[in-house]
Amino acid sequence: MSSTRNLPPQRHDADDPSWDAGPAPDFLRQPPQNLEAEQAVLGALMSSTGAARKYFEETLETGITADEYYRPAHGTIHRAVCALYEAQEPVDPMAVAEELTKRGELTKAGGASYLHTCVQAVPTPANGSHYAEIVRAKAYRRSAIESAQKILQYAHSEEGDESDVRSLVEQELTAIAAGMPGLSAAPPVVGDLYLDFVSELEEIQNGRQVGLSYGLADLDAVTAGMKPGNVTVIAAQSGVGKSTLALNAAVAAAKTGAKVMFSSLEMSSTELMQKMAAAEGKIPMHHLTREGGLTAEGWKTVERLGRDLFKALPLRVYRPDGAALSDIESAARSCVRDGGLDVLVLDYVQLVEVEQNRNMTREQAVAAVSRGLKNLSVQLDCHVIVLSQLNDDGMMRESRAIKNDASVVIKVERPDMDEPESPRAGEVDLVIEKNRFGPTATVTAAAQLHYSRFVDMAQT
């Protein structure tokens, strides 16, 4: 049996390409940092004035602190910026220089000229939050390295016993996890949730609307309306009226003051405006779409709608150039930054594109879209209405993933589609196939498609 215990240490030639010197000693390694990103953050903060003020707040909302900058001068500037902001003073290079002068820290921060250097380093203040996340990520890595070094030094020191080592390891690992950028606090216990639960329970029991209205009282009664963080799927064959139902719901929610974005991959903005004008003004659709079809009275109605409704309605219409999910997500986040978003409507899911690899099936692609929209509803705390096409057999295409992510699934059926002489002509069945907030049921409404709208049967 051979042994290497008494062999002399091997020598290596640094010129030998097979020789690996191993990682550089710790004292030769540079800690993780990105000074350009640090300058860009400060530049964004000092450039976000006037209409761009929202970018200042978005940058601070990342949670970045002065201690997370690698260069001490940058931390000094950050503290001065925050002091001005808290005092509701202007935040620009001149004001920051004055604040640093009062603190006796202008030279320490690099001088007034360096503040302008930071401003020039930022491509656009709109990306300030992105640069801040880069800075925070580097700071987190430095913190992890520092904690690991503490553990190594203590373990090598032979001080204490194994319980002391374990205690230090647990303490440092907890500190690392707690300092992770974007990590939220521990979830609340049920005792903390109780008061909110009772408050919402009182709302329900007193008959006050819990969610936003779909625009149909009978549908609201079964589903309790549209709630943030949830997804409603409206499925129908082509021509049945799923877009009309969704647009009616979008307008109904917007009338209550809710912020709504209707993203159509199928209809133009003009077509959507025609449908809304028809529904709200009771103008026959063919009067709006044919040359000379609008009467003088019709023009007065259109003008009244513009003045009394559309001018103040918080409803955005988004027609993306492409059909990528990322474009829709980006538009939704822009709405959140510019006043908020309560309801997002997407017409329709099968038209949305995702990055597909060669092995991804169409069903998997639609599943990725569905999951992305569900995650978006939670992240933005809004309700999402997704329209889905049914095939000729009345089955939802790629239905499994879409149904799994939905809280409510409504299938739209019109008895007179196949039987024009049906005694139920002019009616529509909203078949609620899935409902996390109540029973499954069928709600019948009146289909006034010549006005591009659905109404409760009691209104007919």
Residue range 414-460, pLDDT digits in tens: 988 888 888 888 899 999 999 998 899 999 999 999 999 999 988 76
- Is residue 397 over pLDDT 70? no
Q: Which of 23-32, 119-128, 444-453 has the lowest mean pLDDT?
A: 23-32
- Is residue 12 over pLDDT 50? no
CA distance 64 to 69: 9
Tell me the CATH number for domain 27-181: 1.10.860.10
* Residue-level pLDDT at 72: 94
* Residue-level pLDDT at 23: 53
Average pLDDT over residues 130-159: 87
Better-scored residue on pLDDT, 405 or 135: 135
CA distance 38 to 138: 10
- Is residue 332 over pLDDT 60? yes
Better-scored residue on pLDDT, 326 or 3: 326
* Residue-level pLDDT at 52: 67
Domain limits of the chain?
27-181, 217-459
* Residue-level pLDDT at 11: 39
Q: Which of 260-269, 330-339, 351-360 has the lowest mean pLDDT?
A: 351-360
Average pLDDT over residues 64-83: 93
- Is residue 70 over pLDDT 80? yes
* Residue-level pLDDT at 89: 87
Cis, bond preceding 318 (omega within 30 deg of 0):
no
Average pLDDT over residues 343-356: 82
Residue 358's pLDDT band (cuts 50, 70, 90): low
The yes or no reply on domain 217-459 and CATH 3.40.50.2300 is no
Confidence (pTM):
0.61
pLDDT in tens, 94-113: 999 999 999 999 999 999 99
